[in-house]
């Protein structure tokens, strides 16, 4: 992992986001909404650009920050994004409405474990971004990978969970259980016969899983 000085250096090289996105970053900071870390999101956006993803499914909208970043980074892309928290849905709607990229985003309200029927009307997807309840990653992956095209990729955030996945002892039971689930997901995805995966130690750790040509 890079040291703090280099992290600051890299962040200092990034150009400023537009006023709406900056307002959202500040809002998230003040109200403790967990939006994707800056280096993680920049890496993801670059991968999506290279991949040429035009239809993207996001699990976990929060206030719409990453959805708007994807929409802005790829003006020809359409993002279908799922959120279950009523307050966050309202905030996301307000922020998205204020953006010139609003027409690129479809917000699906509900639990990602329950809205498959709605989501599937928007399939197939070129890319899927999983950034919701960490204990459910495998379920999200299993449900929605059915709607990924043969050349698609799945990006999963927080797979290193603040470095806790490598800690031998974790005191708090709830965190310990969560870390165990993430660790199980990481092992599962790394040996999945249908995908080539890599875990990048950027942001909170992102897994990039590229579907192998034929479905398995």
Ligand X SMILES: C[S@@+](CC[C@H](N)C(=O)[O-])C[C@H]1O[C@@H](n2cnc3c(N)ncnc32)[C@H](O)[C@@H]1O
For residue 80, list its beta bridge partners. 57, 106
**Which residue sits closest to ligand X, CB atoms considered?**
60
Which H/E stretch holds residue 24? helix 19-31
3-state SS class at 16? coil
Nearer to ligand X, 8 or 90 (CB): 90
The string over 76-86, giving b where at least 16 C-beta atoms fall within 10 Å of a residue's C-beta and e elsewhere, is ebbbbbbbbbe
Label residue 142 exposed, middle or buried (CB < 10 Å: 0-12, 13-18, 19+): exposed
Q: How far is the CB of 177 from ligand X (least distance, A)?
A: 16
**Distance, CA of 54 to CA of 56 (rounded, Å):** 6
Minimum Å distance from CB 212 to ligand X?
26
Which residues partner with 106 through β-bridges? 80
Residue 84 within binding range of ligand X, rule CB under 6 A: yes
Interface pick for ligand X out of 88, 138, 210, 212 (rule CB under 6 A): 88
6 to 45: interface string for ligand X, x by CB under 6 A: ----------------------------xxx---------
Beta-sheet pairing, 148-157 with 206-211: antiparallel
Tell the smallest beta-carbon distance from residue 193 to ligand X (Å).
Answer: 26
Contacts (CB under 6 A) with ligand X, residues 129-188: 131-133, 136
52 makes contact with ligand X (CB under 6 A)? no
Assess 83 for contact with ligand X (CB under 6 A). yes
Contact mark string toward ligand X, 55..74, x via CB under 6 A = -----x-x--xx--------
Residue closest to 85 by CA, chosen among 34, 127, 120, 143: 34
List interacting residues with ligand X (CB under 6 A).
Answer: 34-36, 60, 62, 65-66, 82-85, 88, 111-113, 131-133, 136
């Amino acid at each position: 992992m890079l040291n703090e000085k280099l992290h600051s250096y890299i962040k200092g090289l990034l150009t400023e986001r537009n006023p709406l996105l900056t307002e959202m970053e500040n809002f998230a900071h003040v109200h403790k909404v967990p939006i994707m870390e800056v280096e993680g999101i920049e890496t993801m956006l670059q991968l999506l650009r290279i991949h040429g993803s035009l239809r993207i499914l996001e699990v976990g909208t929060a206030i719409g920050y990453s959805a708007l970043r994807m929409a802005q980074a790829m003006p020809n892309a359409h993002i279908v994004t799922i959120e279950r928290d009523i307050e966050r849905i309202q905030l996301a709607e307000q922020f998205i409405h204020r953006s010139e990229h609003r027409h690129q985003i479809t917000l699906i309200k509900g639990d990602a474990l329950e809205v498959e029927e709605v989501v599937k009307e928007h399939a197939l997807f070129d890319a899927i971004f999983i950034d919701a309840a960490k204990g459910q990653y495998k379920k999200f992956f299993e449900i929605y990978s059915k709607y990924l095209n043969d050349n698609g990729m799945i990006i999963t955030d927080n797979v290193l969970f603040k470095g806790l996945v490598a800690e031998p002892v974790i005191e708090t039971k709830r965190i310990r259980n969560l870390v165990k689930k993430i660790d199980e997901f990481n092992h599962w995805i790394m040996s999945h016969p249908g995908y080539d995966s890599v875990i990048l130690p950027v942001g909170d750790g992102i897994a990039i899983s590229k579907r192998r040509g034929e479905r398995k």
